[in-house]
């Protein structure tokens, strides 16, 4: 038994296939099958009925996406496969209907949510004053937070962006690192800089930092301040203690919003337990506080990454 899916448009067929067969290669690598496209049809040599059932869902949904003139990328296919493997594909098309840009890159390309959880995250950013965003690397927590903050700054909704992070990494101490404070701290804040460069460009980012419209500093430097008219992002919050998080959260001033991002599975603290989960649980019933938890299904990376992880975990020979 093989699967043959007919497509009534060469344009839709080309979109599903992808440049240099990139979209089909994702499917082939995931399920260990061959997928061919010609004559207005996509044909696979799949024999397993379960795989065929999944492929039917994949091609049906991709055709629906393509009919709305959305460009399909390998990332879109990887995420769709993730959803189907978890029986969560029901709302996949929501990503492509009523699309609303979160922000724009420095060269004016729109930034859209790429997963359903990212849509949920943006909805929380619109509604809540404090948002805990928890989950693994690769889910877009930091990038989306910075992109949203930049857009609020451009609209004039806030007057300042403050980016901070605990200066804790694998047991190292800032005091033993060379250079002044900025040189000591910058390597820890690199993901935040990268997001700023993507959304503002290098020159504008540096100009806004010089003008102190964008402030980047260690978490300890938040003590004693009241942060008003600001968008404040605490990144890598799994490395903050409960006491540090209390100090940070109580800095919130009027017309400000806070985002606390972290991966509870990547804690570098040695002596004290991370305060991230404790703080999120303590505040979960406060109406103005939102909590979102990204899962492994929301990590959209090259399919080979999944195989590498499985190899390191001893799941493949």
- Tell me the residue range of the domain where 10 lies: 3-95
- State residue 288 phi and psi, 5-degree precision: -80, 0
pLDDT at 170: 38
Looking at the structure, tell me whether residues 90 and 225 fall in a common domain.
Answer: no
Instruction: Please check whether residues 145 and 165 belong to one and the same domain.
Output: yes
Instruction: Give residue 182's pLDDT.
Output: 60
End-to-end CA, the chain:
29
Q: What is the pLDDT of residue 174?
A: 52
Count of CB atoms within 10 A of residue 104's CB?
Answer: 16
* Tens-digit pLDDT string for the chain (317 aa): 578 899 989 999 999 999 999 999 999 989 999 999 988 999 999 989 999 999 999 999 999 999 988 899 999 999 999 999 989 999 999 999 878 889 999 999 999 999 999 999 999 999 999 999 999 888 899 999 999 999 999 999 999 999 998 876 534 455 545 555 566 667 777 888 999 999 999 999 999 999 999 998 888 889 888 899 999 999 999 999 999 999 999 999 999 999 999 998 888 776 567 899 999 999 999 999 999 999 888 887 776 666 675 677 666 55
Q: Are residues 69 and 35 in the same domain?
A: yes
CA distance 96 to 166: 37
Number of folded domains that form the chain: 2
Specify whether 29 is located in the same domain as 147.
Answer: no
237 lies in the same domain as 151: yes
CATH number at residue 144: 3.40.50.300
CATH classification of the domain holding 12: 3.30.1370.10
Q: Is 310 among the domain residues?
A: no
Tokens of 178: 């060379």
Q: Which residues of 166-177 are buried (b: 16+ CB within 10 A; e: fewer)?
A: bbbeeeeeeeee
Task: Give me the pLDDT at residue 315, please.
Answer: 61
Q: Is residue 313 assigned to a domain? A: no
pLDDT tens figures, 268-291: 776 567 899 999 999 999 999 999
Same domain (yes/no): 206, 59: no
d(CA 150, CA 200) in angstroms, rounded, equals 8
Q: Please indicate, yes or no, whether residues 88 and 139 belong to a single structural domain of this protein.
A: no
């Amino acid at each position: 038994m093989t699967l043959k899916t007919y497509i009534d448009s060469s344009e839709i067929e080309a979109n599903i296939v992808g440049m240099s067969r990139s979209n089909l290669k994702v499917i082939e690598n995931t399920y260990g099958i061959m997928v061919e496209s010609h004559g207005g049809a996509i044909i696979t040599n799949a024999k397993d009925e379960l795989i065929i059932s999944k492929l039917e869902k994949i091609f049906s949904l991709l055709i629906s996406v393509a009919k709305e003139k959305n460009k399909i990328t390998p990332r879109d296919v990887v995420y769709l496969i993730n959803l189907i493997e978890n029986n969560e594909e029901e709302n996949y098309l929501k990503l492509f209907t009523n699309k609303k840009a979160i922000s724009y890159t420095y060269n004016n390309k729109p930034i859209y949510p790429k997963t359903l959880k990212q849509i949920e995250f943006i909805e929380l950013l619109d509604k809540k004053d404090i948002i805990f965003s928890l989950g693994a690397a690769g889910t877009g927590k930091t990038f989306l937070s910075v992109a949203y903050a930049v857009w609020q700054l451009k609209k004039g909704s806030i007057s300042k962006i403050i980016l901070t992070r605990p200066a804790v990494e694998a047991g190292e101490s800032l005091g033993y690192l060379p250079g002044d404070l900025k040189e000591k701290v910058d390597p820890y804040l690199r993901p935040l800089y990268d997001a700023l460069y993507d959304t503002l460009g290098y020159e504008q980012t540096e100009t806004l930092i010089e003008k102190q419209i964008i402030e980047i500093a260690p978490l300890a430097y938040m003590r004693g301040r009241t942060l008003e008219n600001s968008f404040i992002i605490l990144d890598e919050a799994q490395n903050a203690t409960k006491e540090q998080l209390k100090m940070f959260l109580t800095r919130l001033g009027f017309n400000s919003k806070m985002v606390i991002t972290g991966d509870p599975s990547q804690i570098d603290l040695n002596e004290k337990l991370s305060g991230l989960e404790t703080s999120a649980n303590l505040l979960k019933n406060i109406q103005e506080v939102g909590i979102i938890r990204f899962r492994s299904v929301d990590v959209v990376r090259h399919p080979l990454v999944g195989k590498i992880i499985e190899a390191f975990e001893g799941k493949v020979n």
